[in-house]
Chains A and B, each alone.
Chain A
Amino acid sequence: MSPTHMTSEREQATDARPADLEQGRGQASAAFGDPGNGGYGHRDEHGDGPVGNGLAVSLNDIRFSYDHGETWVLEGIDLDIREGERICLVGPNGSGKSTLARLIAGLTAPDGGSVTLLGEPVFEDGTPHSDRFRRARKGIGAVFQNPTDQIITTVVGDDVAFGPENLALTPDRITRRVDASLNAVDMGGYLEADPSRMSGGQQQRIAIAGILAMSPRMIVLDEPTAMLDTQSQRHVLSVLDALQRQGVTIVHVTHRPEELTRADRILSVEGGRLVELSATQAALRLAVTNANDTGTLRPDGVIINAGNGDTAPSASSPSLSRKPSERPDDDPAVLFDHVSFRYPKADADTLHDFSMRIERGEVVAIMGRNGTGKSTLTRLMTALSKPGAGRLEVAGIDLGGGKKHAKQRKKALRSAVGLVMQQPERQLFAETVRQDVAYGPSNQGLTQQQVDERVERALELMGIADLADRSPFSLSGGQQRLAAIAGTIACDPSILILDEPTAGLDAAASERIYALVRTLNAQGVTIVMVTHSLRQARQLADRVITLDGDAAAAHGHGDASPQPATAIPSSSPSSPHGGKRTKCKDAEERQARPSGPGAKTSHHRQPLVQRLDPRVKLVVFLVLMFTSFMVGSVPQLLLTLAMVVAMAAAARLSPRNLWHSLRGFVALLLVMGVVNMLFVRSGRPLLTIAGLPVTTDGVMAAILYTGRFGLVIVLGIILLQTTTPTALTDGFGSLLSPLRRLGLHTQELALVMSLALRFLPTLAGEARDVVDAQSARGGSIETGTPARRIHALAAIVVPIFAGALRHSDNLSLALDARCYEEGIHRTHWHAMHVARRDLVFIALCAIYLAVLLTMKAIPALPRL
C-alpha cells in the first residue's frame, strides 16, 4: 500500500512458507513462529521479548464478583503461567472458569488484585490500564464455546482477515496469513465459502483460523469443542497439539476428560479458588459417575446401521435384540417405513429410504456425525417436518397421511410425544421457572390443580424444585437446561425425544439427565436420544442406531481422521447428504475449486461487474434504480431493458439464476399490474372485469409501471449477486466516511450492517426453532382466546430477543478478541480503488442516462 510498508516485503517471505502451506493438515506452523513477524504492534517498541521472566500470565490475589461484592466468583486467585505452557482449566458449570479464562484473555478486568499478561501489567491496584490491555490483547487469541457467535461475516476469507485488518497489516500479508491459518485448520479449500452454512465443527475451525491469523503468542479457549462431534473435536485438538509444539501458550477450559492428556497442568476452579489436579484426579472428577453400576449399565447395545439406502434394520442384523417382554407384533412407539425426506432447497435427500422401528418402553440412542440427519429424524417424529415419501407412525399416529384430521392427529401427537431440542434453554421465556414449566401442561387444557401437580413433579424429577420462583434468565447454563427439560417432562409424554441433552453440561448436570432417563424409562416412557457420546449411548440405551451418510466426503475430508472409537461400519458411499444446518454441498459448490492462494488470482478471472469498485457500483446502481422510475413510455422502457440486459450479460449472470431471485417478487408485480390496469379509466375500453372497465391506457400503464419496477428489482438483484456483503458494507462505510467529521460513527455503522447481515440467517433459524419448540408444547398463535394468543406470542418473541442478546454478548467478546476498537487504524484486505474500468462503467451508465433524459425531454416521441 504505502511506501512505509515496503520494509515488510522481506518478512512476507517468511510469513507463509510454501512448504508448510502444502503440508496442510495439522500444520499450524505456517501461521506462526515467524520471527520478526510484525503481527504484534508492540513488538517493535518493546523488543522481541517483553516477557523477561518467561511468564505469559501472572495473576495475583484476583477477586471477581458479578454482584458488587455480595458473592465472589473468584476469591484470591494466584496463578502464573509460563510461556509455552498448556493449561487445562476444569470445574463445574458456574464455577468461574469462563470468568478466569476471560481475565487471562484480557477481555475483562477483575474487582481486585493484579493482572500481568504477556509482560504487560494491565491491571494494578484496582485500575485497568487500557493501553496495556490493548497491547496485550494483540498477542492473545480467544476462542469460545459457541462457534456461530465468533464468525463475523459471510465469507470465510473475509472473516479470517478481520483480525489482521484490525492489526493494520498490508493486504499482501493478510492474504498470506489467511491462507496459512486456513490451511492450519485444514479448511484451505473454503476461502470463499459461507461459514454461516457450515457445521459447528467447521465453524469452530474457521473461528480458530481467525485467531491464528493474528499470530497470537497465547491462545485461550473456553470449551471450544463443547458443541462438536467427535471428529471435529479431534480436528480442534490436533490444531492445539501443533500450536503446543510451536511454543504457543495454551489455556484450555474443558469438561471433557479426553482433552486433558496433553496438558502440562490441570487446574480446577472450586469455590472461587484454584486447585491443581493430577491427570487421574481430573479424569475421575469429569467422568459422569455411575451411581449404581451393576443395575444400570446395560449390556452393550446392538449397533445396527440404519443408514441411507439400507433396508429395514431387522434385515441388517440377525442379532437384533429386543427385550424379552416385548412382542414384535405390538404397536411400535415409532415406525419409519422407507421414509425419505429432503429440505426444500436441498439437492439431495437428508434421509433416503430410511427404515427403523422403536418398541414401546425402549431407550434408543441415535448416533452419527453432524449433518447425517439426526435432528431431521427428531423433527419428523414430532411432525415439525413432513416425510416426502414412505410411512411414518409415531405413538400409533400416522404422520405421513393427507390433510384429513391433520389437526386432531397433530394434537394427539403433541400430547403423546415430548421433544427436547438441542440447547432447549434457548426457549425459556417466562418470568419464573414455574410459569415456564407450566406452559406446556396449561396448553393441554388441564385444570390449574393438575397443572400445578405436573409442574411440581417435573421440577422434583429434575431436582430444581428450589429454583421454581427464580427467573429462568438468572440461572446458570446447566440449571437453565434442566428447567427447559422440565418444561417438556411436565407435558407427560409417553415418548420422549432428546436431542443431545447433555452437550456442554458438567458431570453433575449430566448425571441428573441420566437419572431422568432411567426414571422415566422405568415408568414405561419410550426414550429416543440423539447423542455424540458413545459412552452415554452405552450407559443408557438398549440399542444404538447409527446414521451415517457420506458425511466425510461432504465435509471435504477424504483423508479424515478415523471414525469415532467404535468403528461403526459406514454405509455405502452413495450420494452425500447435506443437512439443513450443514449444507456442505452448497459450500463446496460456491468455492468452485479449492486452489491455492486464491483471492488475487480468481479476482482477475471474474466478470467485469464483479470487479468494479464497490463504492462506484453502489452509487451507480442506486442512481440507475431511482432514475428507472422516470421511464414513461414504451421506447424508454425498452432502452432501460436493454441497459439491464447488458448489465446482466456483463455480470455473466444466467437468466435462470436471475429468475430464481426474481420469483419472490412476481406476486407483488402482478398485484401492481392489476391495480394499475383497473385504476386507469381513460383510453379505449377493451373488456370489463368484475364491473371495472379495462382500457388501452390501463393496459399501457400496467406494462409501464410493472415493467420499470421489475427492472429496478432486477438491477438490485444484479448488484447483490455480484458483490459480497463485505464489499457492500466496506463500500457503504467508505461512502459514509466523510460524515465522520460530523461525528457519525461511520466505520462502526458499516460493521453493524455487516454483522447484521451475518446474523440474519442465524436468527431466522433460531426463530424457527423457537416456534417449533413452543408449538411442540402446544402453544399456538392462530387459535384460542386473545389472552392465550398473546401469551403464545410472548413465548416466541421473548426467547428470540433473549437469543439476540445472548449472541450480542458473545459477539462483543469475539470482536474484542479480534482487537476491534472504534477509531483504530484498520486496513482493508480488499483495498478499494477506482480503476479505469470503473470510469468506463460510469461513462457508459452516464450515456444511458443522457439518452433516457433526452427521450423524456423530446415531446415529439409518443408519451403516455
Chain B
Amino acid sequence: MSDISHTQIPTDPSRRDKTQSSHSTGVADKGRWSTQRIAVYALFVALAMAASFIEFPIMPGTPWLKYDLSGIICLVAGFAFGPMAAFIVSVLSWIPHLFMNPWGAIMSIAVSVFLSVPAALVYKRIRTRMGALAGILVGVVFGLVAAIGGNLLITPIYAHMTTAQVMAMVVPILLPFNLIKFAIHGVVTFIIYKPISNLLNRSL
C-alpha cells in the first residue's frame, strides 16, 4: 500500500496535477507536497467524509447494507489527481467511522481503495473516455472481491452467524447489492467527470 503512495509523488507531473503552477515561488520543490496538494486532498477528503455519512439502504430486506456516495468522490479524486489521491481520500475519509464502527470502517476503506486505486491506475495510462470506462470496470471487479471477502470476515462479528451462513448470502444478497452500488458509482462518475475535468483544467 505504501508502494502506491510513494512512487506517484515525483512521477506525476500531469497537467491535471495542480501541485506546481507556472508562477511557483519554488518553495515547494523536489517532490515535496505543496500546500496546493495538501489543500486539494483535504477538500476531497472532506467531501468524501460528508458523503460517507449520507447512507441509505437501496435493497429492500437488507437495511444494514447501505449505499453512500463517497466512492464517487474517491473515483473522481483518482481520475483527477492520480492513484495516490484515490488511496488517501479512500483511507482518510473513513477514519471518523473508525471511532463509531471500527470493523465496518476498515471494511469500507478496503472496498473504497480496491475500487478507486485500480480505476485511477488504468486511467493514468489511458487518458480517454474509454480509459475512464475501463478503469471503472476494473475497479468494480476489485471492489466486488473486496466487498464480498470483507463481508465474509466481518458479518460474523456483528451478527451471530457462521462464515458458511454468510456464504449463503453472497449470491442472493451481497452480490446484487454491491453490483447496484458500483453501478450507481460508475454511471455518476462517468457523467460528472467531464464537467469536473473542465474545472480542473481552467487556468488558475
**Interface positions of A (Cβ within 8 A of B):** 64, 66-68, 106-111, 122, 128-130, 133-134, 137, 429-431, 471, 473-474, 621-622, 625-626, 629, 665, 668, 671-672, 675-676, 679-680, 701, 704-705, 709, 712-713, 715-717, 719-720, 732, 739, 742-745, 748-749, 751-753, 755-760, 762-764, 767, 790, 793-794, 797-798, 800-802, 804-805, 807-809, 811-813, 815-816, 820-823, 864
Instruction: Report the nearest A residue to B196, measured CB to CB.
Output: A801
Structural contact, A743 and B6, CB atoms closer than 8 A: yes
Interface string of B192-204 (1 = CB under 8 A from A): 1001101110111
Binds A, one of B45-53, B115-123, B130-138: B45-53
Q: Tell me the bound Cα distance from A672 to B95 in angstroms.
A: 22
Structural contact, B161 and A679, CB atoms closer than 8 A: yes
**CB within 8 A of A133: which of B26, B36, B50, B159?**
B26
Structural contact, B38 and A672, CB atoms closer than 8 A: no
Pick from A64, A129, A629, A758 the residue with the most CB of B within 10 Å: A629
Q: Does B102 contact A (CB under 8 A)?
A: yes
Structural contact, B198 and A431, CB atoms closer than 8 A: yes
Structural contact, B188 and A760, CB atoms closer than 8 A: no
Are A713 and B63 CB-contacts (below 8 A) given A109-B24, A756-B46, A812-B35? Answer: no
Q: Tell me the bound Cα distance from A478 to B165 in angstroms.
A: 62
Instruction: Report the nearest A residue to B40, measured CB to CB.
Output: A808
Q: Tell me the bound Cα distance from A762 to B26 in angstroms.
A: 31
Give the number of A-B contacts (CB < 8 Å): 212
Q: Tell me the bound Cα distance from A754 to B33 in angstroms.
A: 16
- Distance in Å: Cβ of B144 to nearest Cβ of chain A: 23
Are A756 and B92 CB-contacts (below 8 A) given A742-B2, A812-B38? Answer: yes
Q: Tell me the bound Cα distance from A709 to B93 in angstroms.
A: 22
What is the total number of residues of chain B having a CB less than 8 Å from a CB of chain A?
A: 60
Structural contact, A744 and B2, CB atoms closer than 8 A: yes
Structural contact, B39 and A811, CB atoms closer than 8 A: yes
Structural contact, B23 and A64, CB atoms closer than 8 A: yes
Structural contact, A712 and B25, CB atoms closer than 8 A: no
Instruction: Report the nearest B residue to A67, measured CB to CB.
Output: B203
Instruction: Report the nearest A residue to B194, measured CB to CB.
Output: A431
**Please, which residues of chain A bring their CB within 8 A of the CB of B41?**
752
**Please, which residues of chain A bring their CB within 8 A of the CB of B160?**
676, 679-680, 701, 704-705, 864
**Please, which residues of chain A bring their CB within 8 A of the CB of B34?**
812, 822
- Distance in Å: Cβ of B8 to nearest Cβ of chain A: 11
**Please, which residues of chain B bring their CB within 8 A of the CB of A815?**
35, 38-39
B interface secondary structure, majority: helix
Q: Tell me the bound Cα distance from A67 to B100 in angstroms.
A: 48
Q: Can you list 28 A-B pairs with a CB-CB distance of less than 8 A?
A: A64-B23, A108-B23, A109-B24, A109-B26, A128-B24, A128-B25, A130-B26, A621-B99, A625-B102, A712-B101, A717-B100, A742-B2, A749-B88, A752-B88, A755-B38, A756-B92, A757-B46, A757-B49, A759-B46, A763-B50, A804-B44, A808-B39, A811-B35, A811-B43, A812-B38, A820-B38, A821-B28, A822-B34
**Please, which residues of chain B bring their CB within 8 A of the CB of A64?**
23
**Interface positions of B (Cβ within 8 A of A):** 2, 5-6, 21-29, 32-36, 38-47, 49-50, 63-64, 76, 88, 92-93, 95-96, 98-103, 157-161, 165, 188, 191-192, 195-196, 198-200, 202-204
Structural contact, B196 and A133, CB atoms closer than 8 A: no
Structural contact, B47 and A804, CB atoms closer than 8 A: yes
New A-B pairs, 12, CB < 8 Å, besides A134-B27, A800-B47, A816-B35: A109-B23, A133-B25, A431-B198, A744-B5, A752-B41, A752-B92, A757-B49, A763-B46, A793-B191, A801-B47, A808-B43, A812-B39
